Amino acid sequence: MKLLLRGHADRYALEQLQMSLFPDEPMEFASAPFAGDGAVSSFSAGKTWATASASVAFGGRTARAVRRVRTETLTVPLRRRILQQSYYLAAVRLLPAAPPWGALAGVRPTKLTTKALLSGATAAQADAMLRDVYFVSPERRRLCVEASEATVRALKLLAPTDLSLYIGVPFCPTRCAYCSFVSQAIGRKSELLGPFLGALERELALTGELLAASKYRLRTVYIGGGTPTTFSAEQLARLLDALAADFDRSRVLEFTVEGGRPDTLDPEKLAALREGGVTRLSVNPQTMRDDVLRAVGRPHTAADAVRAFRQAREAGFESVNMDLIAGLPGDTPEGFAESLRECLALGPSNLTVHTLARKRGSDLNEFRRPLPPAEDVAAMLSGAEADLRAAGYRPYYLYRQKYMSGSFENVGWERGDDPGLYNIYMMEEAHTVLSAGGGGMTKVLLPGGRLYRRHNPKYPSEYLGQLDDTLAACREVFRVLNAE
């Protein structure tokens, strides 16, 4: 689907919105008038009015819309806003239904409502902004505002010198069909686990040394991947011992390990995690339907998820998260509702409901089972929200991804005032997040909300081969951090 810009160069703002509203249409920028499906976004500013207009053609129909503001009030953000509004108001006339997130195309809608609440707005005022400026549906507005209220509570726990640490372990026993994360299915590559752990220990030692010499202190720690529990119990104990030796964890509020795959968990590993100071664990079935698990290439069963969860409780983990994915191949609203009920019966402190994201890097296209249509995904999510609220859960963080079924969202739900703090701080970009290991991204929060980013090598072999460069980049991160 083509996009032609006239009188402005706000390419990114319109590109992201077009991709969100027409996710199945290839994106193409045009430099001259064209025929067929596409959009023309125009902007002009006179003495009195600044005008944004859009003409969108799709499926043999064309719609137009105009938004304007007084030129004397025009700012760059306001120009982008009316450009997006005019595009959305034209495009929505050609869609079968208004998208749940309206004209919002970004992955962090809560940043808008969190900013509003921190500036003194009430929840009702934040809701009105989403309604009047971005045309967000009532259901999504409620989720967004409530997640931002949880964010505001979590931010009160932070000092200006707090930061978080993410450790990436990019290995999995096998690769799931829907996965686009950077990870190595161990298969015949298990020989990389030991060398990777050795290299990671070197990076953690340097990071801990530099952190100790700075004014900053750890507030949350998250070990993700991949599936970190692909490591053996001995390797997990070794990693956790290194963390204990290299970092002052006296102010850490939360230490999470992504247990992800239930088939990687056993009492020996769980004991190693607890003894190593881990306070929060994820046990992620994704679905409790064995036929759907087989369809997406997960070799464990629903019974394995129940076993792993109960063993985690027996090991002393009070804070346990479970993940489900709405929209998996072969699933139905009834099947998803049953999966949720089975998880709720276990009583997890957090339950994260993801919407399937059809990422280009995944293997979903190789599977023949059909994906549920958008209306079924909508039914899964609305039913889940009703059941979760009835069980006493409330949303604490929310984010979106590209190519999500039905253009919905991922929502973390918590019960008993036990949110996943790292998830909030990372998604809201509330403070600096240091990353070590494979595929992680460090984000140093700079004045004015700007971010300095540094990516670690993605794959285990790259991480091993570029370790000296990674250590040099770690030193540069602290140079930037200490300059603030």
Q: Where would I find the beta strands (DSSP E) of 274-357?
A: 280-282, 319-326, 350-355
pLDDT at 191: 87
CA–CA separation, 342 and 335 (whole Å): 11
pLDDT at 372: 93
Q: Residue 137 above 60 pLDDT?
A: yes
The answer to whether residues 388 and 242 belong to one domain is yes
What confidence tens digit (pLDDT) does each residue in 306-361 have? 999 999 999 999 999 999 999 999 999 999 999 999 999 999 999 999 999 876 55
Domain end marker among 78, 95, 112: 95
The answer to whether residues 54 and 175 belong to one domain is no
User: Which one, of 362, 282, 366, lies nearest residue 324 by Cα?
Assistant: 282
Least confident of 115-119, 337-341, 444-448: 444-448
Work out the pLDDT band at 370, boundaries 50, 70, 90.
Answer: confident
Number of domains in the chain: 2
Q: Residue 367 above 60 pLDDT?
A: no
Q: Residue 197 above 60 pLDDT?
A: yes
Per-chain mean pLDDT for the chain: 93
Q: Is residue 301 in a domain? A: yes
What confidence tens digit (pLDDT) does each residue in 229-260 have? 999 999 999 999 999 999 999 999 999 999 98
Least confident of 25-34, 172-181, 414-423: 172-181
pLDDT at 260: 83
Work out the average pLDDT over 51-75. Answer: 97
pLDDT at 307: 97
The answer to whether residues 59 and 180 belong to one domain is no
pLDDT at 105: 85
473 or 177, which is more confident: 473
The answer to whether residues 278 and 420 belong to one domain is yes
Work out the pLDDT band at 60, boundaries 50, 70, 90.
Answer: very high
Work out the average pLDDT over 159-167. Answer: 97
pLDDT at 23: 86
Work out the average pLDDT over 355-381. Answer: 77
The answer to whether residues 368 and 440 belong to one domain is yes
The answer to whether residues 73 and 205 belong to one domain is no
Helix (H, G, I), strand (E, B) or coil at 414: strand
CA–CA separation, 284 and 268 (whole Å): 19
Q: Is residue 429 in a domain? A: yes
Domain end marker among 95, 116, 133: 95
pLDDT at 406: 78
> Which CATH number characterizes residue 397's domain?
3.20.20.70
Q: Is residue 104 in a domain? A: no
Q: Residue 363 above 60 pLDDT?
A: no
Q: Is residue 81 in a domain? A: yes
Q: Is residue 446 in a domain? A: yes
The answer to whether residues 316 and 451 belong to one domain is yes
pLDDT at 138: 97
Percentage of the residues of the chain whose pLDDT score is greater than 90? 86
Work out the pLDDT band at 180, boundaries 50, 70, 90.
Answer: low
User: Which one, of 471, 476, 475, 478, lies nearest residue 456 by Cα?
Assistant: 471
The answer to whether residues 77 and 189 belong to one domain is no
Q: Is residue 477 in a domain? A: no
CA–CA separation, 221 and 248 (whole Å): 11
Work out the pLDDT band at 366, boundaries 50, 70, 90.
Answer: low
pLDDT at 190: 75
The answer to whether residues 224 and 371 belong to one domain is yes
**Does a cis peptide bond (omega within 30 degrees of 0) precede residue 226?**
yes
The answer to whether residues 85 and 211 belong to one domain is no
Percentage of the residues of the chain whose pLDDT score is greater than 70? 95
Q: Residue 178 above 90 pLDDT?
A: no
CA–CA separation, 39 and 5 (whole Å): 9
User: Which one, of 279, 294, 263, 139, lies nearest residue 220 by Cα?
Assistant: 279
Which distant-in-sequence residues (6+ apart) come within 8 Å of 284 by Cβ? Answer: 258, 259, 260, 261, 262, 305, 321, 322, 323
Question: Tokens standing for 470?
Answer: 């990674």
The answer to whether residues 312 and 457 belong to one domain is yes
pLDDT at 155: 97
Domain end marker among 72, 95, 118: 95
Q: Long-range contacts: 68-71, Cβ < 8 Å, 24+?
A: 71/45, 71/46, 71/47
The answer to whether residues 82 and 168 belong to one domain is no
CA–CA separation, 319 and 312 (whole Å): 9
Q: Is residue 443 in a domain? A: yes
pTM of the model: 0.92
Q: Is residue 144 in a domain? A: no
> Which CATH number characterizes residue 33's domain?
3.30.160
Q: Which domain range does residue 191 map to?
A: 157-470
Work out the average pLDDT over 31-35. Answer: 95
